[in-house]
């Protein structure tokens, strides 16, 4: 099927999280010679399409069909794709229906492969991701169908198509600190315990503090203060407590334990409580992994660019593959308009992304 026509078709299907907009059924119909496995829960649809061609390794392409709400500020209907000057405007154009269209067409056209080819799709990536890829992976493990290698087609490129792939992602640790004091009159500070004053000379030990030095794959894990609040918004009453919120995008070198220990040292002697939660955990695929080498070669062949190997950015469903020890990479279009009004990508990028995936399947499936 024509990659651009298919891309435009799924862009026109409204699939705001967790609604798949009937895209999964459409893709299943196109992939009729693949076994279809659904595993749905919590109002979320998950589809796994698989076909064994040979006895070799299992290569999977993964992604999500759901998109964030359109919001305001669009110059056209966000679910009626507009083509202008070689660009396609619609919600999901970059994140990530371009990637879905590219790998569905590439896999659908594969005639031979030395192993198993599959596609994993969810309608719950832009939300909490509770009932999406992670539960499908657990189900696939029960069926002994976990892939050996995965390509997640998230938009990864920065300035030029082909300039970056992701070989890992940082984790995300959230912290909630409450420092207790004693409320009082501003005219009698000696009768109060002002938590703002208590923290003032210690804030530098928290704000922007680097918990590790990073490495070849990750930048340092840095403590970022996201919110500080206390008091009653009056000038004559000192606060009885102070709340601080923070986030650490952590590498594999820093865990919740290190974060907790550092905060304990920084706030030693203060009356405080701390809650730490972790929404995602860091992972990295080795730079000499087969999937890294093969996709780099495919990108170089199609684009003539040598992509950098990055772990920057937020989270993606690739983290769930990493938790199973699966070698996973991410590659897709330029990501400069994701989640923004007038989200768009170029026809050329979508076509080249398809060509990269076709080349990758050919390289990966060749009998050595």
> pLDDT per residue over 209-223, tens digit each?
999 999 999 999 999
> So which residues are the catalytic ones?
66, 125
**SS3 assignment, position 347:** helix
> pLDDT per residue over 250-262, tens digit each?
999 999 999 999 9
Element (H, E) at 29: helix 23-30
Residue 321: both structure tokens together: 């593959």
Q: Which pLDDT value is given to residue 134?
A: 95
Q: Which pLDDT value is given to residue 368?
A: 43
Picking from 71, 54, 168, 52, the residue whose alpha carbon sits closest to that of residue 118 is 52
**SS3 assignment, position 118:** strand
Q: Which pLDDT value is given to residue 279?
A: 82
Q: Which pLDDT value is given to residue 227?
A: 97
Query: What is the Cα–Cα distance from 125 to 18, expressed in whole angstroms?
Result: 8
Ranges under pLDDT 70 in the chain: 366-368
Q: Which pLDDT value is given to residue 366?
A: 64
Burial of 92 (C-beta count, 10 Å sphere; 0-12/13-18/19+): buried
Q: Which pLDDT value is given to residue 262?
A: 98
What percentage of the chain has pLDDT greater than the value 90?
95
Q: Which pLDDT value is given to residue 315?
A: 85
Residue 159: both structure tokens together: 């300035």
Specify the pTM.
0.90
CB 210 within 8 A of CB 221: yes
Picking from 361, 367, 366, 365, the residue whose alpha carbon sits closest to that of residue 107 is 361
> pLDDT per residue over 59-68, tens digit each?
999 999 999 9
Picking from 219, 270, 221, the residue whose alpha carbon sits closest to that of residue 244 is 270
Burial of 163 (C-beta count, 10 Å sphere; 0-12/13-18/19+): middle
In this structure, the number of other CB atoms found within 10 A of the CB of residue 121 comes to 27
């Amino acid at each position: 099927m024509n990659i651009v026509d298919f891309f435009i078709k799924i862009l026109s299907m409204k699939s705001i999280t967790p609604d798949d907009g009937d895209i999964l059924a459409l893709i299943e119909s196109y992939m009729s010679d693949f076994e279809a496995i659904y595993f749905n829960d919590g109002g979320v649809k998950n589809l796994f399409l698989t076909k064994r061609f040979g006895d070799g390794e299992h290569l999977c392409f993964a992604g999500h069909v759901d998109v964030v709400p359109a919001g305001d500020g669009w110059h056209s209907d966000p679910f009626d794709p507009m083509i202008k000057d070689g660009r396609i405007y619609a919600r999901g154009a970059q994140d990530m229906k371009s990637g879905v269209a590219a790998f569905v067409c590439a896999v659908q056209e594969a005639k031979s492969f030395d192993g198993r080819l599959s596609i994993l799709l969810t309608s719950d990536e832009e939300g909490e991701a509770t009932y999406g890829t992670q539960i499908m992976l657990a189900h696939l493990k029960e069926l002994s169908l976990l892939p050996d290698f995965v390509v997640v087609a998230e938009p990864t490129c920065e300035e030029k198509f082909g300039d970056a792939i992701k070989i890992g992602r940082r984790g995300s640790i959230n912290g909630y600190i409450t420092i207790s004091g004693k409320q009082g009159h501003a005219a009698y500070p000696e009768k109060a315990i002002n938590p703002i004053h208590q923290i003032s000379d210690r804030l530098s030990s928290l704000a922007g503090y680097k918990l590790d030095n990073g490495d070849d794959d990750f930048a340092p894990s840095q403590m970022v203060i996201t919110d500080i609040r206390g008091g009653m918004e009056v000038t004559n009453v000192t606060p009885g407590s102070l709340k601080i919120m923070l986030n650490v995008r952590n590498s594999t070198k820093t865990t919740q334990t290190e974060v907790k220990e550092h905060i304990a040292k920084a706030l030693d002697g203060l009356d405080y409580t701390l809650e730490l939660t972790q929404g995602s955990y860091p992972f990295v695929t080795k730079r000499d992994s087969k999937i890294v080498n093969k996709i780099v070669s495919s990108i170089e062949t199609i684009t003539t660019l040598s992509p950098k190997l990055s772990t920057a950015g937020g989270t993606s469903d690739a983290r769930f593959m990493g938790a199973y020890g699966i070698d996973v990479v991410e590659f897709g279009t330029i990501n400069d308009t994701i989640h923004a009004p007038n989200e768009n990508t170029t026809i050329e990028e979508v076509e080249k992304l398809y060509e990269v995936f076709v080349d990758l399947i050919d390289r990966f499936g060749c009998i050595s």
